[in-house]
Amino acid sequence: MRIVNGESLLFVGDSITDCGRDRPIGAGAGLGDGYVSLIDSFLAADYPERAIRVLNTGVNGNRVIDLDARWQADVLELAPDWLAVMIGINDVWWQFDNQRDPNQVTIARYETIYRKLLEQTRHKLKGLVLTTPYIIEPNLSDPMRERMDAYGRVVERLAHEFDAVFVNVQAAFDLYLAHRPAQSLSDDRVHPNKTGHMIIAKCFLASVESD
């Protein structure tokens, strides 16, 4: 486990991270009811000798442009030791469900803004974790799946560029989807049930725990 005793771990992202967390900052019992809370519990159970402070500033509906607007208050001012980012699902989803929105986040814009945020932050951190956006869809030719995979490749590229732990949540969902239908995890292919959040949490921990 790369996160050591006394360090803080901040999660930032969209509704998948938010999951009803407390405002202004989710902590303790106020981490929400998603993967962030599960990770906090796993850390306590598996590493009782390490006091790792887990924080959550996910916000429903966020895209990378929204992270840009609140980065100072919700990331930099909190000065975490470790930062975990999962963003991009809404950036893609809005291109299909909100096609008339003139403020779409193209893949080039996504990468430019994401890189700018990491450039502001990486040197302040002991560790960085970048998690792919995902869609719970096994058909690789599905248009939204194709585009989500492209955004995921941007995240992988940024993870290498900024010496970050790369968490391929899409690949973890794909392993599950090889055996069970997407409907067993989500009604809308995006918001997972408890099993889906468990898959995210286990994938995150396996990546951070590996050498």
Q: Which of 33, 101, 187, 188 is catalytic?
A: 188
Q: Tell how strand 26-27 and strand 8-13 pair up.
A: unpaired
The two tokens of residue 132 are: 């792919």
Decide if 160 is catalytic. Answer: no
Q: How far is CA 142 from the centre of its chain?
A: 22
Question: How many Cβ atoms from other residues are within 10 Å of residue 21's Cβ?
Answer: 23
- Encoded amino acid at 95, one letter: Q
Query: Has residue 46 got a pLDDT over 60?
Result: yes
Asked about 142 being catalytic, the answer comes back as no
- What is the layout of strands, in order, in the sheet containing 165-167? 26-27, 53-56, 8-13, 82-86, 127-131, 165-167
The tens digit of pLDDT for each residue in 147-196 reads: 999 999 999 999 999 999 999 999 999 999 999 999 999 999 999 999 99
- In the structure encoding, which two tokens stand for residue 33, read together? 């009811």
Q: What is the pLDDT of residues 118-131, one digit of tens each?
A: 999 999 999 999 99
Determine contact, residues 201/31, Cβ cutoff 8 Å. Answer: no
Q: Check if 188 is active-site.
A: yes
100 band by pLDDT with thresholds 50, 70 and 90: confident
Segment 193-211 mean pLDDT: 94
| Torsions phi, psi for 159 (to 5 deg) | -60, -40
Options 66, 142, 186, 191, the catalytic residue: 191
- Give the domains, in start order, of the chain with CATH numbers: 8-209 (3.40.50.1110)
Q: Kindly report the CA angle at 157 between 92 and 89, in degrees rounded to 5?
A: 20
Pick the catalytic residue from 8, 15, 37, 207.
15
Closest CA to 32 of 48, 13, 47, 45: 13
Q: Render 50-113 in DSSP notation, one character per residue.
A: ---EEEE---TT--HHHHHHHHHHHTGGG--SEEEEE--HHHHHHHHH-TT-S----HHHHHHH
Q: At residue 179, what is the residue type? A: H
Whether residue 106 contacts residue 151, with contact meaning beta carbons closer than 8 Å, is answered with: no
Contact 65, 87 (CB under 8 A): no
pLDDT confidence of residue 154: 98
